[in-house]
Protein backbone atom coordinates (compact mmCIF):
# COMPACT_ATOMS: atom_id res chain seq x y z
CA UNK A 1 0.00 0.00 0.00
CA UNK A 2 2.87 2.41 0.83
CA UNK A 3 4.34 1.80 -2.59
CA UNK A 4 1.08 2.80 -4.31
CA UNK A 5 0.91 6.12 -2.40
CA UNK A 6 4.53 6.83 -3.41
CA UNK A 7 3.69 6.29 -7.10
CA UNK A 8 0.55 8.41 -6.70
CA UNK A 9 2.55 11.42 -5.42
CA UNK A 10 5.22 10.97 -8.12
CA UNK A 11 2.49 10.82 -10.78
CA UNK A 12 0.84 13.93 -9.28
CA UNK A 13 4.18 15.82 -9.25
CA UNK A 14 4.96 14.77 -12.83
CA UNK A 15 1.45 15.75 -13.96
CA UNK A 16 1.82 19.21 -12.32
CA UNK A 17 5.13 19.84 -14.06
CA UNK A 18 3.70 18.80 -17.46
CA UNK A 19 0.63 21.01 -16.90
CA UNK A 20 2.78 24.00 -15.91
CA UNK A 21 4.94 23.62 -19.04
CA UNK A 22 2.24 22.87 -21.60
CA UNK A 23 -0.74 24.98 -20.44
CA UNK A 24 -0.99 28.72 -21.06
CA UNK A 25 -0.07 30.79 -18.03
CA UNK A 26 -2.71 32.90 -16.26
CA UNK A 27 -3.01 36.28 -17.98
CA UNK A 28 -3.90 39.53 -16.25
CA UNK A 29 -5.51 42.52 -17.93
CA UNK A 30 -3.22 45.52 -18.09
CA UNK A 31 -4.88 48.77 -17.10
CA UNK A 32 -3.58 51.88 -18.83
CA UNK A 33 -1.92 54.27 -16.43
CA UNK A 34 -3.76 57.24 -17.94
CA UNK A 35 -7.10 55.92 -16.62
CA UNK A 36 -5.98 55.63 -12.99
CA UNK A 37 -5.88 58.76 -10.81
CA UNK A 38 -2.42 59.39 -9.40
CA UNK A 39 -3.28 62.22 -6.99
CA UNK A 40 -6.42 63.59 -5.39
CA UNK A 41 -6.81 67.19 -4.22
CA UNK A 42 -9.65 68.30 -1.95
CA UNK A 43 -10.63 71.97 -1.45
CA UNK A 44 -7.51 73.26 -3.18
CA UNK A 45 -6.05 76.56 -4.39
CA UNK A 46 -3.48 76.84 -7.16
CA UNK A 47 -1.39 79.92 -7.96
CA UNK A 48 0.38 80.79 -11.22
CA UNK A 49 3.41 82.78 -10.10
CA UNK A 50 5.66 84.57 -12.60
CA UNK A 51 8.35 87.26 -12.33
CA UNK A 52 5.52 89.83 -12.37
CA UNK A 53 3.85 88.18 -9.37
CA UNK A 54 0.67 86.12 -9.08
CA UNK A 55 -0.89 85.97 -12.57
CA UNK A 56 -3.85 83.70 -11.81
CA UNK A 57 -5.49 81.72 -9.04
CA UNK A 58 -7.44 78.47 -9.39
CA UNK A 59 -9.85 76.91 -6.90
CA UNK A 60 -11.75 73.64 -6.79
CA UNK A 61 -13.61 71.38 -4.40
CA UNK A 62 -12.03 68.16 -5.69
CA UNK A 63 -9.49 67.31 -8.39
CA UNK A 64 -8.13 64.02 -9.69
CA UNK A 65 -4.71 64.06 -11.40
CA UNK A 66 -4.32 61.52 -14.18
CA UNK A 67 -1.28 60.98 -16.41
CA UNK A 68 -2.29 63.56 -19.03
CA UNK A 69 -5.22 65.43 -17.49
CA UNK A 70 -6.67 66.92 -14.34
CA UNK A 71 -10.42 66.66 -13.68
CA UNK A 72 -11.93 69.27 -11.34
CA UNK A 73 -15.28 69.61 -9.60
CA UNK A 74 -16.50 73.20 -9.20
CA UNK A 75 -13.43 74.86 -10.77
CA UNK A 76 -13.00 78.63 -10.50
CA UNK A 77 -10.14 80.54 -12.11
CA UNK A 78 -9.28 84.20 -11.62
CA UNK A 79 -6.79 86.08 -13.82
CA UNK A 80 -5.59 89.66 -13.95
CA UNK A 81 -6.16 91.16 -17.44
CA UNK A 82 -6.03 94.64 -18.99
CA UNK A 83 -9.80 94.92 -18.39
CA UNK A 84 -9.45 93.97 -14.71
CA UNK A 85 -9.98 90.66 -12.97
CA UNK A 86 -11.53 87.96 -15.12
CA UNK A 87 -13.27 85.04 -13.40
CA UNK A 88 -14.49 81.82 -14.97
CA UNK A 89 -16.32 79.08 -13.08
CA UNK A 90 -18.27 75.89 -13.82
CA UNK A 91 -19.58 72.75 -12.17
CA UNK A 92 -16.95 70.54 -13.88
CA UNK A 93 -13.70 70.99 -15.73
CA UNK A 94 -10.78 69.16 -17.32
CA UNK A 95 -7.27 70.54 -17.85
CA UNK A 96 -5.32 68.65 -20.53
CA UNK A 97 -1.50 68.84 -20.53
CA UNK A 98 -1.03 72.62 -20.51
CA UNK A 99 -2.90 72.91 -23.81
CA UNK A 100 -6.55 73.58 -22.97
CA UNK A 101 -9.19 73.74 -20.26
CA UNK A 102 -12.64 72.31 -21.01
CA UNK A 103 -15.41 73.60 -18.72
CA UNK A 104 -18.96 72.28 -18.72
CA UNK A 105 -22.22 72.36 -16.74
CA UNK A 106 -23.21 76.00 -16.08
CA UNK A 107 -20.10 77.87 -17.20
CA UNK A 108 -19.91 81.56 -16.29
CA UNK A 109 -17.19 84.00 -17.36
CA UNK A 110 -17.23 87.51 -15.88
CA UNK A 111 -15.00 90.58 -15.92
CA UNK A 112 -14.72 93.61 -13.64
CA UNK A 113 -16.13 95.85 -16.40
CA UNK A 114 -19.57 94.23 -15.92
CA UNK A 115 -19.40 91.68 -18.78
CA UNK A 116 -20.81 88.22 -18.01
CA UNK A 117 -20.98 85.30 -20.45
CA UNK A 118 -22.92 82.12 -19.64
CA UNK A 119 -22.93 78.82 -21.53
CA UNK A 120 -23.30 75.09 -20.95
CA UNK A 121 -19.76 74.40 -22.27
CA UNK A 122 -16.64 76.44 -22.87
CA UNK A 123 -13.11 75.66 -24.04
CA UNK A 124 -10.10 77.78 -23.13
CA UNK A 125 -7.03 77.35 -25.34
CA UNK A 126 -4.00 78.15 -23.16
CA UNK A 127 -1.68 78.85 -26.09
CA UNK A 128 -3.87 81.30 -28.00
CA UNK A 129 -5.74 82.63 -24.90
CA UNK A 130 -9.07 81.99 -26.65
CA UNK A 131 -12.38 81.13 -24.99
CA UNK A 132 -14.83 79.28 -27.25
CA UNK A 133 -18.29 77.81 -26.74
CA UNK A 134 -17.53 75.40 -29.62
CA UNK A 135 -20.85 75.92 -31.38
CA UNK A 136 -22.94 75.86 -28.20
CA UNK A 137 -25.44 78.57 -27.26
CA UNK A 138 -24.45 81.41 -24.95
CA UNK A 139 -25.88 84.45 -23.19
CA UNK A 140 -23.81 87.59 -22.68
CA UNK A 141 -24.74 90.43 -20.33
CA UNK A 142 -23.18 93.88 -20.29
CA UNK A 143 -25.10 96.05 -17.89
CA UNK A 144 -28.75 95.94 -19.07
CA UNK A 145 -27.71 94.73 -22.54
CA UNK A 146 -28.35 91.07 -23.35
CA UNK A 147 -26.92 89.13 -26.32
CA UNK A 148 -27.68 85.50 -27.14
CA UNK A 149 -26.17 83.41 -29.90
CA UNK A 150 -23.96 80.49 -30.84
CA UNK A 151 -20.26 79.78 -31.39
CA UNK A 152 -18.86 82.56 -29.23
CA UNK A 153 -15.13 83.26 -29.47
CA UNK A 154 -13.59 85.59 -26.89
CA UNK A 155 -9.94 86.56 -27.37
CA UNK A 156 -8.60 87.24 -23.89
CA UNK A 157 -5.56 89.28 -25.00
CA UNK A 158 -7.44 91.77 -27.19
CA UNK A 159 -10.86 91.53 -25.52
CA UNK A 160 -12.54 91.01 -28.93
CA UNK A 161 -15.65 88.85 -29.07
CA UNK A 162 -17.13 87.13 -32.15
CA UNK A 163 -20.29 85.03 -32.40
CA UNK A 164 -22.82 83.56 -34.84
CA UNK A 165 -26.63 83.80 -34.91
CA UNK A 166 -26.79 86.61 -32.40
CA UNK A 167 -29.87 88.28 -31.03
CA UNK A 168 -29.36 91.40 -28.93
CA UNK A 169 -31.37 93.70 -26.68
CA UNK A 170 -29.37 96.91 -26.40
CA UNK A 171 -30.45 99.64 -23.98
CA UNK A 172 -29.24 103.21 -24.41
CA UNK A 173 -29.12 105.45 -21.38
CA UNK A 174 -30.73 108.87 -21.66
CA UNK A 175 -28.19 111.68 -21.50
Residue 31 pLDDT exceeds 60: no
Q: Which of 137, 141, 126 is nearest to 77 (CA)?
A: 126
Any domain includes 3 = no
Per-residue pLDDT band at 29 (split at 50, 70, 90)? low
Longest CA span, the chain: 117
CB 107 within 8 A of CB 120: yes
Any domain includes 90 = yes
Name the domain count of the chain. 1
Structural domain boundaries enclosing 71: 33-169
Any domain includes 56 = yes
Any domain includes 128 = yes
Instruction: Tell me the sheet residues that pair with 161.
Output: 154
Q: What is the pTM of this model?
A: 0.73
Residue 112 sits in a domain whose CATH number is 2.60.450.10
> How many residues are given for the chain?
175
> What tens digit of pLDDT does each residue of 89-129 get?
999 999 998 789 999 999 999 998 889 999 999 999 989 98
Q: Which of 102, 116, 34, 36 is nearest to 72 (CA)?
A: 102
Any domain includes 85 = yes
Lowest-pLDDT choice from 19-33, 44-58, 158-172:
19-33
Torsion sign over Cα 146, 150, 154, 160: negative
Any domain includes 68 = yes
CB 80 within 8 A of CB 63: no
Any domain includes 19 = no
Supply the pLDDT for residue 175.
Answer: 55
> What tens digit of pLDDT does each residue of 36-89 get?
777 888 888 888 888 887 788 888 999 888 888 889 999 999 988 777 889 999
Any domain includes 93 = yes
Amino acid sequence: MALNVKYFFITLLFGSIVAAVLLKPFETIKVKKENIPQLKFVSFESFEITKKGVESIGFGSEALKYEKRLTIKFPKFMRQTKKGIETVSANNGVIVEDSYVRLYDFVELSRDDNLTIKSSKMLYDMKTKLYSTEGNRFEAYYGKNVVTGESLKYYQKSGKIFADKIYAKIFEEDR
